[in-house]
Amino acid sequence: MDVTIWHYVIFTAAIFAMLAVDLGLFHRKAHSVKFREAVMWYFVWLTLAAIFAGWIFWQGGSDKGAEFVTGYVIELMLSVDNIFVFLVIFSYFKVPSQFQHRVLFYGILGAVFMRAAFIGLGVSLINMFEWTIYIFGIFLVYTGIKLLIRKEGEVDPDQNPMVKIVRKVIPVSGEYDGQKFFTRKNGVLMITPLLLVLLAVESADVVFAVDSVPAILAITTDPFIVWTSNVFAILGLRSLFFIFSDLVSTIRYLKYGLSVMLTFIGLKLLAHDIYHMPTYVSLGVVVGVLVITVAASYIIKPSEADAHAHGGKSDKEPAQDSH
Per-residue pLDDT of the chain (323 residues; tens, 9 = 90+): 788 899 989 998 988 888 777 766 666 666 677 778 888 888 888 999 999 999 999 999 988 999 999 989 888 877 776 777 777 788 778 888 788 878 888 888 888 888 888 888 888 887 787 778 788 788 888 888 887 776 655 555 666 666 777 777 778 787 788 788 888 887 788 888 888 888 888 877 777 777 778 888 888 889 899 999 988 988 888 787 877 766 666 677 777 888 888 888 888 878 877 777 777 787 788 888 888 887 887 788 765 545 444 444 444 444 444 44
Residue 37 burial class via C-beta count within 10 angstroms: exposed 0-12, middle 13-18, buried 19 and up: middle
Residue 289 burial class via C-beta count within 10 angstroms: exposed 0-12, middle 13-18, buried 19 and up: buried
pTM over 0.85: no
User: Side chain identity at 155, as an amino acid letter?
Assistant: V
The CA-atom distances, in angstroms, between 43 and each of 81, 210, 285, 296 are 20, 27, 25, 25
Beta strands 182-185 and 188-191, pairing class: antiparallel
Phi then psi for residue 184, to 5 deg, are: -120, 135
Cβ atoms < 10 Å from Cβ of 62: 11
